[in-house]
């Protein structure tokens, strides 16, 4: 049986937040990890931490919504780190507003990063997976896919990610490739800090308000999501595909 030590993973949006947590976890699991984000310099501290812990990593700068940049980034990973057979589509942005105030620019920006970005990255990497007859794709959805006030763009994109994931599972299954989605609830990152700021409340107040509704009684951390990613990309998870796992401290459907 092949071990994970020789495998290469790409994690998008990995310079901070959930993507950093996922990168660190996959490196600890034995993957060589391409830490990809808009700005290569911002990825370097994450790479340095992984290397200090004995892992292998590469900082890669690319906008996941830019077709040429995505192809160049994936080519570079294949050459400098190893042919990628694990992809975590995590890069994301929010541009929240109520429907009547939302601009078409904010609609497009969110669709471009989440949907076009996941599509371009997956299309660029799938050839390595089918060639290896093994691959793991994990896409970040959200509990917002179920509907969330002020997020008509983001919730549509995150629901779209679920359909995208299920179709990948159907098309790529025969090549030994699985595709699954993780739908986090509230995770403490700069994204949720920005939400609190926009609502005009302190992050502590925002957290207290949100946590009241979370059955396990705490906010999520990047490591909570990284743990679920680690399961999906594992050797033994080959019969788990096309699933959406809500990681939210309680039931969601
Ligand atoms: P974050 O805002 O802290 O980090 C997102 C990263 O994505 C940033 O480093 C950013 O530079 C990068 N990024 C944005 N646009 C990009 C692009 N076009 N190309 C490459 N990189 C790009 O966000 P966080 O909280 O770590 O979220 C990660 C993922 O998890 C996102 O997809 C988000 O929608 C999802 N999520 C987060 C939740 C939360 O509570 N924090 C809840 C549910 C889902």
What does the pLDDT look like over 178-225, one tens digit per residue? 999 999 999 999 999 999 998 899 999 999 999 999 999 999 999 999
Q: Is ligand 1 within 6 A of the CB of residue 118? A: no
Ligand 1, atom 32, lies closest to the CA of 92
Q: Is any atom of ligand 1 closer than 6 Å to the C-beta of 194? A: no
Tell me which residues are annotated as active site: 154
- Which CA distances in Å does 19 have to 152, 201, 213, 229, 247? 24, 25, 25, 11, 15
- Position of tokens 């497009």? 108
**Which residue lies with its CA nearest to atom 33 of ligand 1?**
92
Neighbours of 79 (CB within 10 A): 9
Report angle CA 235, 118, 195 to the nearest 5 degrees: 105
Cα 15 to middle of ligand 1, angstroms: 9
Q: Would you state the pLDDT for residue 247?
A: 98
How many A from CA of 1 to the centre of ligand 1?
34
Query: Which residues of the chain carry a pLDDT beneath 70?
Result: 1-5
Q: Could you give the 3-state DSSP secondary structure of residue 187?
A: strand
Q: Which CATH architecture has domain 4-185+221-247?
A: 3-Layer(aba) Sandwich (3.40)
Domain boundaries, the chain: 4-185+221-247
pTM, rounded to two decimals: 0.98
Query: Using a 6 Å cutoff on CB, does residue 16 contact ligand 1?
Result: yes
- Of the candidates 37, 122, 36, the residue with the CA atom closest to the CA atom of residue 85: 122
């Amino acid at each position: 049986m092949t071990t994970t030590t020789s495998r290469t993973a790409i994690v998008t949006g990995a310079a901070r937040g959930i993507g950093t947590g996922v990168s660190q976890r996959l490196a600890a699991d034995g993957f060589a990890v391409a830490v990809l984000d808009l700005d290569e310099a911002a990825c370097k501290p994450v790479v340095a931490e992984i290397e200090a812990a004995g892992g292998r990593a590469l900082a890669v700068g690319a906008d996941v919504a830019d077709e040429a940049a995505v192809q160049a980034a994936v080519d570079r990973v294949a050459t400098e780190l190893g042919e990628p057979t694990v992809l975590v589509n995590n890069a994301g942005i929010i541009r929240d507003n109520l429907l009547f105030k939302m601009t078409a620019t904010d609609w497009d920006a969110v669709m471009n990063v989440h949907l076009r970005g996941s599509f371009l990255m997956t299309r660029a990497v799938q050839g390595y997976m089918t060639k290896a007859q093994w691959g793991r794709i994990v896409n970040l959805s959200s509990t917002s896919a179920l509907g969330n006030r002020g997020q008509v763009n983001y919730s549509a994109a995150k629901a779209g990610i679920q359909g995208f994931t299920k179709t990948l599972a159907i098309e790529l299954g025969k090549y030994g490739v699985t595709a699954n989605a993780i739908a986090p609830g509230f995770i403490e990152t700069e994204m949720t800090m920005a939400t609190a700021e926009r609502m005009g409340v302190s992050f502590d107040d925002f957290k207290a308000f949100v946590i009241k509704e979370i059955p396990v009684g705490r906010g999520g951390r990047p490591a909570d999501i990284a743990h679920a990613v680690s399961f999906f990309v594992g050797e033994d998870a080959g019969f788990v595909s096309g699933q959406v796992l809500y990681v939210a401290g309680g039931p969601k459907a």
